[in-house]
Amino acid sequence: MSEILTIENLTKNYVTQSESLSVLKGVNLSVQAGQRVCVIGESGNGKSTLLNILGGIDSASGGRVVAGPYELTKMGEDELTEYRSKFVGLIFQFHYLLKDFSALENIFLPAYMAGVPKAQAMEKAKKLLADVGLTERADHLPSELSGGERQRIAVARALINDPQLILADEPTGNLDPANAAMIGDLLFDMTRRYNKSLLLVTHDMGLAKKGDRLCEMKDGVLNER
């Protein structure tokens, strides 16, 4: 197995006029291709900060992050845009679907914007929509979908550009227990079906135990459990 993600001594500090806050304190982690790694921890311990850095949304204060051929900690904005478009799929606690576009269009757009021909992008979107069990909701706007359905669309959208790594930040955090369990099962099923690596951040121990490995983030330090 090859490593798909390597994190070495990653730090993140926020500095204000009055204080310096250390959120990540030398995080180390390696993820093998195809592995599903879950990170648990209470709010405020640095889990989302870690995922934002790995997603190319935030920058580190120090350390090194290598994801496939990309060394994030050395890349400029153009390279990070390519990385977000081609290598990672992001799923958040809030679905961030475009409210004026249908379920199918929300899945289709990232592929189309990445340069995939329209017909091919639409075909891929329809297949993923079927995979998450929402073919009959293709023309519905996000406002016409339930919370669980919106998050299923978000899972499909994260896979449309065939990323190698899926980053999921509390993907069940806004859902009731039944929908949370369904989204958790779907996420693991889809990453297994499409042979994707997964780094999942959650405070739900039941969900976290579904992964291949379990880590805990506490006070900005990550330890394997």
Please choose, from the candidates 83, 89, 50, 78, the residue with its C-alpha nearest in 3D space to the C-alpha of residue 67. Answer: 83
Q: Residue 223's pLDDT is what?
A: 86
- Token couple for 35: 């592995």
Q: Residue 36's pLDDT is what?
A: 92
22: CB partners within 8 A, 6+ apart = 11, 12, 13, 220
d(CA 91, CA 97): 11
Q: Which range (68-77, 88-97, 163-172) has the least confidence?
A: 88-97
d(CA 162, CA 119): 16
pLDDT in tens, 107-154: 999 999 888 899 999 999 999 999 888 999 899 999 999 888 998 899
Give the predicted TM-score (pTM) of the model. 0.89
d(CA 118, CA 124): 10
Please choose, from the candidates 217, 218, 220, the residue with its C-alpha nearest in 3D space to the C-alpha of residue 39. Answer: 217
Q: Are 27 and 50 in contact (CB under 8 A)?
A: yes
Q: Residue 214's pLDDT is what?
A: 92
59: CB partners within 8 A, 6+ apart = 53, 73
Quote the DSSP letter at residue 164.
S
> Rounded mean pLDDT of 29-41?
90
pLDDT in tens, 142-159: 999 988 899 889 989 999
1 pLDDT more than 70: no
Dihedral sign, Cα of residue 103, residue 104, residue 109, residue 111: positive
Task: Give the chain's largest Cα–Cα span.
Answer: 55
d(CA 78, CA 87): 14
Average pLDDT value over all residues in the chain? 88
pLDDT in tens, 43-81: 777 888 899 999 988 888 899 999 989 999 888 888 888
